[in-house]
Structure 1
Amino acid sequence: MSLARFSLNQATTKRWPMDETVAGCVASGVPGIGLWRDQVADHGLDRTASLVRSAGLTVTSLCRAGFFAAPDWKDDNRRAIEEAVVLGAPVLVLVSGGLADGSRDIDAARRWVGDAVGELVPFAHEAGVRLAIEPLHPMYASDRCVISTLRNALDLAAPYPSEDVGVTIDTYHLWWDDDIWSQIARAGEEDRIACFQVADWITPLPEGVLLGRGLPGTGCIELRRFREAVDATGYTGPIEVEVFHEDVWSRPGDEVLKETLALYTEHVL
C-alpha cells in the first residue's frame, strides 16, 4: 500500500480527539492530515501545531475560510490565514458562502466572491498561504456556496497569480459535471490545483445532504478516473479523503482510518 500522498482530512473522523487522530495517523503510516479550524480551536491552535509538528505529520490544508456574505468575513479570513501559518498549512480552502440575506442575484454574489478573494490576496501572499477556491455541488448554492463548478472557480482565480490563488477539486462536489475533465486539464495548464479531495456520492442521500458523503468505493463516483485526470496535469500533491457522514462519525476513529486506507488503495490508487 502506497501512502506517500494520502492525507486524512479531519472531517472524516470528526469525533476522534485531536491527540488520538494524530497518534492514529502515525501508527498507520499516514504522512499527512487536513485540519479543520473548529477542531483546531477546540484543541488549541498552538497545542495543535506543536502536536502535529512533533508527530512529523504534514498539514496538507486548513478548512475552511470564505463565507464572504458574512458581516465579519474579512476579519475571519485574515484570522484563518494567520492560523494556517501557525499550523504550517500551505493551503487554505475557501468556501464562498451563499446569497446575501434577501438577495436573489447569484451573478452579483459570484462577482463579490472574486472581489473578496482579491482583497485577501496581498495578505495571503505575504503570509505564504495559498488560497484554494472550492466549488460545491449546486444544491448548496443558496446558503453555502455560490461557486458551483470548477469553471466558476477557475474564472474567479484567473486574475490572481497561481501561486496565490488556486482551486480545490473535490470529487463529491464535481462528479456530475460533464465539463469536469476539460476543466481539470485547464486547471493543470493554469497551475491552479491547490487541493485534491476525494469522497463518494451515496444514494439515497440522507436527510440533510451535507452528510451524504461516503468512503471511497461506497458510492457511484469514478474516483480513480478523477485521480488519473488530476495526475495527468502534473499534480503530484496530497490526496485528502474527506467524508461527512453520521454513520462514519459514530464509529471508532481507528476503525474508520483502517477502512479508509483499504478503500483508498482499492478505489483511488
Structure 2
Amino acid sequence: MSEHLRRLSLNQKTTNAWSLKEAVDGCLRHGIQSIGVWREPVADIGLDKAQRLIRDAGLRVSSLCRGGFLTAEGAAARQHALEENKRAIDEASALNADCLVMVVGGLPLGSRDLPAARSRVADLLDELVPMAADQGVRLALEPMHPIFTADRGVLATLGEALDLAEKYPAETVGVVVDSFHVWWDPQLEAQVARASNRIASFQVCDWITPLPADTLLSRGIMGDGHIDFHHHYDLVTRAGYHGDIEVEIFNADVWAANPDTVLALIKQRTLTQVLPPTT
C-alpha cells in the first residue's frame, strides 16, 4: 500500500449496510487504518463493546458523527440538545476520536428566522465548549452546502464556521473541510488558508449531476463528478493539515453495491483522484 494511503479513512456511511463490526473487519481486509464512526451503530452494540472492537483492531477513529442540531426553539429543546451533545462528547472521548463532527441543524419547523437559528448555535456552543475541553474532545463545525441550510446546517460557508470557531481555542473547536459542501465557494482558497490549525477533518466525495430526488444521497465516488480533489488536497496541505482523509459517501447505488468492491474502488480513486499525481 502507498504510504499516503495510510491516511485513508472509511466513514461508516460509505458502507451503510455494514454494522460497526463488519465495517471494522472490512477495514482490516483492505488495509485501511482509520474509520469514521457514527453514533447509531455504536449504540447498537454499546459503547464499551465498540471501544474494545476498534481498539483491538488497531484502528484510529478519524471522527465521530455526529453532534450538533442546536437550532431548536424553546427551553425544553435547548436542554435536550445540551444533554444529547454531552453524550456525544462522552462517546467521542471514550472512542479517542480525533473530533466530534457538529452538524449544527437547520431551521426549526415553520421558522424563517435564519439569524435567530444561527444565534442559538453560537449560544449553545458557549456551553458545550467547556464540556468538550474537559474531556479533551475537539468539536468540528461542519459547514454545509446551501442546499441543506433549511433542514440540516445553517452554517453554509467555511468562513461562517471559522467565525464561530475562532472564538475558542483551536484544540477544542475546529472545522470540517468536506469537499462536497465547500467546493462551490468562491472564497474557498482564502478560507482554507485562514483555517490553518483549525482543520479538524478533511472529508471527500464527489458532487454528481443530475441531483437525485433525495439530495442527501447526491454524493458520488471521487472522479464521478465535478470536484477537483487534487486542488482541495493541496489547499488543506498548505494550510498545515496532515491528518486522515475520510471518504464519506451518501449514495443509494453505492450503498446497494458490494461493500468490498466499494472499498477497493475507493482506494484506487483516492490514489488517482485525491492524492498528488506523483504519489
Tell me the TM-score normalized by structure 1: 0.97
Alignment size in residue pairs: 267
Q: Equivalents in 1 of 2:22, 2:98: separation in Å?
A: 23
- Say whether 1:254 aligns with 2:256: no
Match of 2:35 in 1: 33
Match of 1:104 in 2: 112
Q: Assess if the C-alpha contact under 8 Å between 2:142 and 2:176 holds in 1.
A: yes
- Say whether 1:58 aligns with 2:60: yes
Q: Equivalents in 1 of 2:101, 2:247: separation in Å?
A: 14
Match of 2:14 in 1: 12
Where 2:65 maps in the other structure, the secondary structure is strand
Q: Assess if the C-alpha contact under 8 Å between 1:131 and 1:166 holds in 2.
A: yes
Match of 1:113 in 2: 121
Root-mean-square deviation (Å): 1.0
Unaligned runs of at least 5 residues, structure 2: none
- Say whether 1:193 aligns with 2:199: yes
Match of 1:93 in 2: 101
- Say whether 1:151 aligns with 2:155: no
Q: Equivalents in 2 of 1:45, 1:250: separation in Å?
A: 27
Q: Equivalents in 1 of 2:87, 2:156: separation in Å?
A: 25
After superposition, the C-alpha distances for 1:156-201 in whole angstroms (9 at most, x for unaligned) are 111111111000010001111100110000001xx21011100100
2:18 counterpart letter in structure 1: W
1:171 counterpart letter in structure 2: S
Q: Equivalents in 2 of 1:20, 1:146: separation in Å?
A: 34
Unaligned runs of at least 5 residues, structure 1: none
- Matching of residues 172-183 of structure 1 within 5 Å: 172-183=180-191
Q: Equivalents in 1 of 2:171, 2:182: separation in Å?
A: 23
Percent identical across equivalent pairs? 51
Which of 47, 50, 57 is 1:48 aligned to?
Answer: 50
- CA-CA distance at 1:44 after TM superposition: 2.1
2:268 counterpart letter in structure 1: A
Moved over 6 A (4+): none
Match of 1:227 in 2: 233
Q: Assess if the C-alpha contact under 8 Å between 2:70 and 2:124 holds in 1.
A: yes
Match of 1:245 in 2: 251
Q: Assess if the C-alpha contact under 8 Å between 1:33 and 1:57 holds in 2.
A: yes
- Say whether 1:73 aligns with 2:75: no
